[in-house]
Structure 1
Amino acid sequence: MTGKRLRSQAWFGGDGKNAIMYRSWMKNQGMPPDSFDGRPVIGICNTWSELTPCNAHLRDLAERVKRGVYEAGGFPVEFPVMSLGESNLRPTAMLYRNLASMDVEESIRGNPIDGVVLLVGCDKTTPSLLMGAASCDLPTIVLSGGPMLNGRVRGEPVGSGTAVWRYSEDVKAGRMTLKDFMDAEAGMARSAGSCMTMGTASTMASMVEALGVALPENAALPAVDARRGVLAQLTGRRIVDMVHEDQRLSSILIPAAFRNAIRVNGAIGGSTNAVLHLIAIAGRIGVPLSLDDWDTLGRDIPTIVDLQPSGRFLMEEFCYAGGLPVVMKALAKIGKLEGGAPSVTGQSVWENVRQAENFNPEVIRSFDNALTPEGGIAVLRGNLAPNGAVIKPSAATPALMQHRGRAVVFDTIDDYHSRINDPDLDIDESCIMVLRNCGPRGYPGMAEVGNMGLPPKILARGITDMVRISDARMSGTAYGTVVLHVAPEAAAGGPLALVREGDMITLDVAARSLVLEVAEDELEKRRAQWQPMAPPISGYQSLYIQHVMQADRGADFDFLVGCRGADVPAQSH
Structure 2
Amino acid sequence: MNELRSADWYVGDDRNAYIHRAWMRRGLPASAFDGTRPHIAIANTASALVPCNMHLGEVARSVSDGIYEAGGIPLELPVMGLGETLVRPTAMLWRNLAAMQMEEMFRANPLDAVVLLGGCDKTVPALLMAAASVGLPALVVPGGPMLSGTFRGTPLGCGTDVWKLSEDVRGGDLTEKDFLASESSMIRSKGHCNTMGTASTMGLVAEALGMVLPGLAGTPAPDARLLEGAHASGRRIVEMVAEGLTPQKVITEGSVRNAIVALAAIGGSTNAVVHLLAIAGRLGLDISIDDFDRTGADVPLLVNLQPSGKHLMDDLFRAGGFLAVLREVRELLDPEAITVSGRPLADHLDEARIWDADVISARETPLQEKAGIAVLRGSLAPEGAIVKPAAATPALLQHRGPALVFDSIEDFRSRIDDPELEVDEDTVLILRGCGPKGYPGMPEVANMPLPRKLLERGVRDMVRICDGRMSGTAYGTVVLHVSPEAADGGPLAQVRTGDTIVLDVEQRRLDVEVDPAELAARTPDAATVEGFATPARGWQRLYIDHVTSASLGADLDVLTGASGPDVHRESH
The two structures have a TM-score, normalised by structure 2, of 0.98
User: What is the total number of aligned residue pairs between the two structures?
Assistant: 568
Q: In the alignment, which residue of structure 2 is the partner of 1:32?
A: 29
Q: In the alignment, which residue of structure 2 is the partner of 1:327?
A: 325
Amino acid at match of 1:33: A
Q: In the alignment, which residue of structure 2 is the partner of 1:503?
A: 499
2:259 is aligned, of 250, 258, 261, to 261
- Residue 392 (structure 2) pairs with residue 396 (structure 1): yes
Compute the displacement of 1:80 (Å). 1.1
Counterpart secondary structure, 1:164: helix
Compute the displacement of 1:367 (Å). 2.1
Counterpart secondary structure, 1:404: strand
Q: Which consecutive unaligned segments of at least 5 residues does structure 2 have?
A: none
Task: Tell me if structure 2 keeps the 8 A contact 1:205–1:218.
Answer: no
Compute the displacement of 1:534 (Å). 5.7
Q: In the alignment, which residue of structure 1 is the partner of 2:287?
A: 289
1:433 is aligned, of 421, 429, 433, to 429
Compute the displacement of 1:528 (Å). 7.7
Q: In the alignment, which residue of structure 2 is the partner of 1:66?
A: 64
Counterpart secondary structure, 1:367: coil
The aligned runs of 1:357-436 (5 Å cut-off) are 357-436=353-432
The aligned runs of 1:194-343 (5 Å cut-off) are 194-332=192-330, 335-343=331-339
Counterpart secondary structure, 1:165: helix
Instruction: Measure, in 2, the Cα distance between the counterparts of 1:261 and 1:279.
Output: 11
Q: Note the alpha carbon deviations across 1:131-170, whole angstroms, 9 max, x for none.
A: 0110001100001100000121111111000000000000
Instruction: Measure, in 2, the Cα distance between the counterparts of 1:485 and 1:454.
Output: 20
Q: Which consecutive unaligned segments of at least 5 residues does structure 1 have?
A: none
Q: In the alignment, which residue of structure 1 is the partner of 2:550?
A: 551
Counterpart secondary structure, 2:558: helix
Compute the displacement of 1:537 (Å). 2.7
Instruction: Measure, in 2, the Cα distance between the counterparts of 1:570 and 1:542.
Output: 31
Instruction: Measure, in 2, the Cα distance between the counterparts of 1:482 and 1:534.
Output: 23
1:138 is aligned, of 136, 139, 145, to 136
Q: Note the alpha carbon deviations across 1:191-235, whole angstroms, 9 max, x for none.
A: 000000000000000101001110122221100000001011001
Q: Note the alpha carbon deviations across 1:40-79, whole angstroms, 9 max, x for none.
A: 1001111000100110000111001000001100000011
Instruction: Measure, in 2, the Cα distance between the counterparts of 1:224 and 1:452.
Output: 34
Instruction: Measure, in 1, the Cα distance between the counterparts of 2:186 and 2:318.
Output: 20
2:50 is aligned, of 49, 52, 56, to 52
Q: Mark the CA change 1:453 to 1:33 in structure 2 (over 3 Å): closer, same or farther.
A: same
Amino acid at match of 2:544: I
Amino acid at match of 2:363: F
Task: Tell me if structure 1 keeps the 8 A contact 2:438–2:533.
Answer: no
Instruction: Measure, in 2, the Cα distance between the counterparts of 1:400 and 1:246.
Output: 50
The aligned runs of 1:36-115 (5 Å cut-off) are 36-37=33-34, 38-115=36-113
Amino acid at match of 2:552: R
Amino acid at match of 1:569: H
Compute the displacement of 1:336 (Å). 0.4
Instruction: Measure, in 1, the Cα distance between the counterparts of 2:489 and 2:333.
Output: 40
Task: Tell me if structure 2 keeps the 8 A contact 1:326–1:357.
Answer: yes
The two structures have a TM-score, normalised by structure 1, of 0.98
Amino acid at match of 2:31: D
Q: In the alignment, which residue of structure 2 is the partner of 1:123?
A: 121
Instruction: Measure, in 2, the Cα distance between the counterparts of 1:127 and 1:523.
Output: 37
Q: Note the alpha carbon deviations across 1:468-498, whole angstroms, 9 max, x for none.
A: 0000100000000000000000011100001
Instruction: Measure, in 2, the Cα distance between the counterparts of 1:256 and 1:137.
Output: 18
Compute the displacement of 1:239 (Å). 0.2
Amino acid at match of 2:553: G
Q: In the alignment, which residue of structure 1 is the partner of 2:461?
A: 465
Q: Note the alpha carbon deviations across 1:362-417, whole angstroms, 9 max, x for none.
A: 11101222111111100000000000000000000001000001101100000000
Counterpart secondary structure, 1:507: strand
Counterpart secondary structure, 1:238: helix
Q: Mark the CA change 1:342 to 1:145 in structure 2 (over 3 Å): closer, same or farther.
A: same
Instruction: Measure, in 2, the Cα distance between the counterparts of 1:367 and 1:462.
Output: 35
Q: In the alignment, which residue of structure 2 is the partner of 1:166?
A: 164
Task: Tell me if structure 1 keeps the 8 A contact 2:329–2:363.
Answer: no
Instruction: Measure, in 2, the Cα distance between the counterparts of 1:152 and 1:364.
Output: 22
Compute the displacement of 1:525 (Å). 2.2
Task: Tell me if structure 2 keeps the 8 A contact 1:202–1:220.
Answer: yes
- Residue 562 (structure 2) pairs with residue 563 (structure 1): yes
Give the superposed CA RMSD. 1.1
